[in-house]
Structure 1
């Protein structure tokens, strides 16, 4: 796992978190780094491996981010643009009508992007092949989508493996979930690592109240079907990386529980002043 090489200052986000790259280049660079960290090629005691692992840790979430944006645009009839993220009004008429097979492919692409990013965190020996196959199958234009990442101290603090392990240990005491559903975009980094520790499926719903001005979780008909497939929700974990006021996780939980009422909640960090108390917490943060 990638944490074998992660020796970082978890209070201050690294410069590596600031980058702008085409999507295809992100995938290719991730493949190069995974290969460089393969057994026999590098020692975890070598500081050069620490820099590479840190770059991969902040790079891999982009694999999911872009696919999620693509899926949201297709599911809700928004234009596809090489650089822009669009605000989503789930009640507005569709601007573009996509064929059903295109909607299915976009949803499947998101699932495959999550699997690929998880393989990166596992340092999967077959990642290079998986990445090449994924890249070949990208929809037209997505390879060149320009992804921009910016430093975020809250996301970074909650991405510390020790904190995520603490959350995973807490969750497992209550029973292993079948699936973890995170609030994207902030929870992607922590979520990829968490799902590996829990050995469960992973999904993300776009719900970014501060970066994207989302008023509610963006839930498509296909998202709803995926959630309802887990019955009463007792095997679902709804999570966020950092529960400061608790608003994001509270609203996300309420939305998912309309479909799966017994779903559980978790946060890597819960601020002591938070008005929402998840069922499971990795670390309580005293402001």
Structure 2
């Protein structure tokens, strides 16, 4: 640490001491700017939700270079827990999958029981055909915390959970294993093309359309659990008028939502009901089970 500027060192000290779990990364948790940072964020989200702090090193070159000297570690991301350096993405991945990271955070060790899965014969044949030239690579399944799903070929590192479906071995991390329970893998032929289809019963329910009349009925119903309403439009538009009780969807509102129970009713609106759907879909994929989009947006409410 001898070559680090003392002012930079003090800034890093202050950042690390600001939270129990602190991540130096490229980008932010909502928009990671490199795959390694994105992968680390997914693991922390699995374990902690949004209960950790980050610093975007792309916005401050002094911190970006200084943290490498400070930690004696050449790459980003870098994770600190209780002011102690843990490691980069590869180390964090291994600790996450073995349960060591859970223990360090005071959490219950993960269940490494392979999930029950089903696959159609046609899907199995297509996958095997595609793996003929795979060599030592194995079939990996990834389902992230937003239920984005993909298959890939990779070399096992030794700590993966392996599910055997018929005579096919599918490798996955423990987060995927939890989200893959009882998925159904099939093969579809459509006009748009053919390919694998995965039906996942663990994925949160679809965003529901909510009419202005239904929202008004919701307001008028005694003892009903009123929804939390968020307006995604710019600040000046919201200032001109919005639905009663609505808050603008800004950084503070996002943090507020992320601290709520996943069964809290959430309603999103914009001017006409289109851009609000993207916000609704984002939180649906985060696991919220009662997500609504206001049909027609503020225009419909105002009319």
TM over 0.5: no
Higher Rg: 2
Shorter-chain TM-score range: under 0.3
Compute the TM-score of the two structures, normalised by the length of structure 2: 0.22
Compute the TM-score of the two structures, normalised by the length of structure 1: 0.23
Higher relative contact order (CA 8 A, sep 6+): 1
Give the structure with the higher percent helix.
Answer: 1
